[in-house]
Amino acid sequence: MTSNYDEGTIRTLDWQEHIRKRPGMYIGKLGDGTAADDGIYVLLKEVMDNSIDEFMMGFGKKITINIEGDKVVIRDFGRGIPLGKLEDVASKMNTGAKYDSKVFKKSVGLNGVGIKAVNALSSKFTIRSVRESVAKEIVFSQGVIQDEKDLKGIDEPNGTMVMFEPDPEVFRSFHYISDYVVNMVKNYTFLNAGLIIEFNGERFYSRNGLRDLLEENIDDNPIYPIIHLRGEDIEIAVTHGNRYGEDYYSFVNGQHTTQGGTHLQAFREVYVKTIRDFYKKDFDPSDIRASIVAAVSIKVEEPVFESQTKTKLGSKDIGPNGPSVRAHVGNFLQKELNNFLHKNPDTAEMLLRRIVESERERKAISGIKKLAKQRAKKVSLHNKKLRDCRIHFGSNNERADESSIFITEGDSASGSITKSRDVNTQAVFSLRGKPLNTFGLTKKVVYENEEFNLLQAALNIEESLEDLRYNKIIIATDADVDGMHIRLLLITFFLQFFPELIRKGHVFILQTPLFRVRNKQKTYYCYSEEERRNAIKKLKGKPEITRFKGLGEISPDEFKHFIGRDIRLEPVLMKKHESVTQMLEFYMGKNTPERQDFIIDNLYVEKDEVA
């Protein structure tokens, strides 16, 4: 039977209907708040970008953000949106001031969509503008006006206030994680020296721009003092740390381009050329960039991004009449970095020693790497250790961001997850016993240890993190002492050799229920003692209570509930003020009296559960 195709099948969606039907086109993935790029943070960013643009144009030196539960309130002290256009700005697509380059020359949001997406995807959205003691306020729900009022003679400074609550019909179960919001706020202040942002009463401010950013994000002392270079519409800060890998923070017009783009590619290439020319040696690029930590910020007229969420710059030129992005970044970096190194011979000497040290280590493990690759092929990775999925991170598939890999312990746990998973987006990697404690070891161990060699191959991160096969690396171990120890050993491995996996928010802990509480009519899965008590109250009487002691005890049919749409993940986050080296030394180094005292002070005895 064929369906009719006539005038009646053609439908035009209202603007808010289209956004709600296709939210991914406007804010990327929805998520639940456990990842820094989930939709609820994009909503926050879209509103913030408008306030930041006001500051960049010289209006309003302070922005306040308050988040209480699901409710977000953002207030700036700029000029305030023209009152007669307040409704259009909030609810008419392709409406805004940013088409006039005289007003917003180098802005982030240029297509007039961002705040409309926030409006359409919020159960409640209020926008209020104040201009010279006169205000207008409009209340929406799912993009539809509910109320509006004009106010005169009010005693408030100029500016715009936006309040929104993400719609649970769209985002389902979600929550804001303060650490993600704080990181976003700090980036805004680093990129806008002199701007004050208050988040839930805490004040954030930066004097030294990207230099402050690197100092905030380097967990140990850098090998040499941060090189900080500033020019017209460009700023670069760079040093080398003591960790493995390359760590970059890239920005365009104040937007954190987490996936880089043409400006970051230019920096990586020109940095290598400049170093080679300065030392007059043909160093391998991997040795020059090993352990690099750098931040790059440029301003571009009418930037072109590769998606609505603006995570990767696609612009080839910095403006209609300007040079290419590559030439702009390259010319500045070559001249200023070369001058800096000539004027600072001590820094130049320390940098040279770091490059030579990286070269020595790379050559020392080159033979081991070759043997490790051969060994990985013989082990038949895809049959024995890895149950792969069909869709991978970085592919063109619209579900690429959903791709994940569960790292499990033991056959029973991996068997349950393998039978329950979504074969399109969820892979499973099985550990054999406890992994090695890698604290203090060199990268040789990654290739010499079979488990780590195979895990690295499964993740596809040997050459570059840009080749990572899975967006989420999920540690799925039992919630007992052994399971917790395995978690620590795996996190130590990632922190020691691939810290950017954690910095960029790819590593998570799978939360599985501790209890099942049920009667003949209803079943509750409880992740905490409090949830167990609440479930007992709801069911009344004397329900059956099961205490899950291991993942292998949960049947595949039940496991589907815990790794499907309602999966609970706890992100592994790095506190910026903590030194990774000191932290690993404390938890994973040799036993010390301090750690023994810590264990004794934090011991708990698991009591028998009583219904």
> Of 598 and 589, which is predicted with more confidence?
589
Mean pLDDT of 367-394: 72
> Could you read off the pLDDT of 160-171 as tens digits, one per residue?
999 999 999 999
> Could you read off the pLDDT of 552-592 as tens digits, one per residue?
778 888 888 888 888 889 999 876 545 666 677 767 777 66
Q: Which residue has the tokens 């209006």?
A: 59
Q: What percent of the chain is modeled with pLDDT above 70?
A: 85
Strand ranges across the sheet with 227-231: 227-231, 234-240, 292-298, 247-252, 255-256
> Could you read off the pLDDT of 222-246 as tens digits, one per residue?
899 999 999 988 999 999 988 788 8
* Whether the Cβ atoms of residue 312 and residue 257 lie closer than 8 Å to each other: yes
Mean pLDDT of 305-322: 69
Phi, psi of 100 (to 5 degrees): -90, 100
> Could you read off the pLDDT of 338-351 as tens digits, one per residue?
999 999 999 999 99
Torsion of CA 358, 359, 363, 369, to 10 degrees: 50
Torsion of CA 381, 382, 387, 388, to 10 degrees: 110
Instruction: Tell me the pLDDT band of 103, cut-offs 50, 70 and 90.
Output: very low
Mean pLDDT of 396-418: 84
Contacts of 213 (CB under 8 A, 6+ apart): 186, 187, 190, 206, 237, 249, 295
Strand locations in 269-345, DSSP E? 292-298
Pair of tokens at residue 455: 């895990």
> Could you read off the pLDDT of 35-62 as tens digits, one per residue?
888 899 999 999 998 898 888 888 999 9
pLDDT for residue 606: 40
The neighbour count for residue 343, using CB atoms within 10 Å, is 9
Encoded amino acid at 555, one letter: S
Give the Cα separation of 99 and 599 in Å (integer): 60
Just give the CATH number of 210-362. 3.30.230.10
Whole-angstrom CA distances from 244 to 321, 440, 486, 581 are 40, 12, 22, 13
- Is residue 603 scored above 60 in pLDDT? no
* Whether the Cβ atoms of residue 244 and residue 302 lie closer than 8 Å to each other: no
Pair of tokens at residue 139: 């209340």
- Is residue 476 scored above 50 in pLDDT? yes
pLDDT for residue 202: 95
Pair of tokens at residue 391: 């869709």
Q: Are strands 196-199 and 62-68 parallel, antiparallel or unpaired?
A: parallel
> Of 320 and 30, which is predicted with more confidence?
30
Fold of 379-512+548-601: Rossmann fold (3.40.50)
pLDDT for residue 91: 87
DSSP-derived letter for residue 155 is: -
pLDDT for residue 382: 47
Residue 248 bridge partners (DSSP): 294
- Is residue 399 scored above 70 in pLDDT? yes
Give the Cα separation of 458 and 474 in Å (integer): 13
Strand locations in 18-107, DSSP E? 62-68, 71-76
Q: What percent of the chain is modeled with pLDDT above 90?
A: 43
The neighbour count for residue 338, using CB atoms within 10 Å, is 14
> Could you read off the pLDDT of 416-467 as tens digits, one per residue?
888 889 999 999 999 888 889 888 888 888 888 888 988 998 999 887 788 8
- Is residue 99 scored above 80 in pLDDT? no
Strand locations in 100-226, DSSP E? 122-131, 134-141, 144-152, 159-166, 196-199, 202-204
- Is residue 604 scored above 50 in pLDDT? no
Phi, psi of 342 (to 5 degrees): -65, -35
pTM of the predicted protein model: 0.79
pLDDT for residue 2: 52
pLDDT for residue 474: 96
List the chain domain ranges.
Answer: 16-204, 210-362, 379-512+548-601, 515-546
* Whether the Cβ atoms of residue 51 and residue 76 lie closer than 8 Å to each other: yes
pLDDT for residue 423: 94
Phi, psi of 546 (to 5 degrees): -115, 130
pLDDT for residue 367: 73
Contacts of 465 (CB under 8 A, 6+ apart): 245, 498, 500, 501, 504
pLDDT for residue 81: 92
Give the Cα separation of 107 and 105 in Å (integer): 6
Encoded amino acid at 155, one letter: D
Architecture of the domain delimited by 16-204: 2-Layer Sandwich (3.30)
> Could you read off the pLDDT of 65-79 as tens digits, one per residue?
999 999 999 999 999
Q: Rounded mean pLDDT of the chain?
A: 84
Contacts of 507 (CB under 8 A, 6+ apart): 473, 475, 491, 494, 501, 571, 572
Identify which of 247, 192, 181 has the alpha carbon closest to the alpha carbon of residue 45: 181
Pair of tokens at residue 138: 């409009």
Encoded amino acid at 449, one letter: N
Strand ranges across the sheet with 507-511: 386-387, 426-431, 404-409, 472-476, 507-511, 568-571
Pair of tokens at residue 555: 């049947």
> Could you read off the pLDDT of 251-292 as tens digits, one per residue?
988 888 888 888 899 999 999 999 999 999 999 999 999 989
DSSP-derived letter for residue 466 is: G
Encoded amino acid at 167, one letter: D
Contacts of 238 (CB under 8 A, 6+ apart): 214, 226, 227, 271, 292, 293, 294, 295, 337
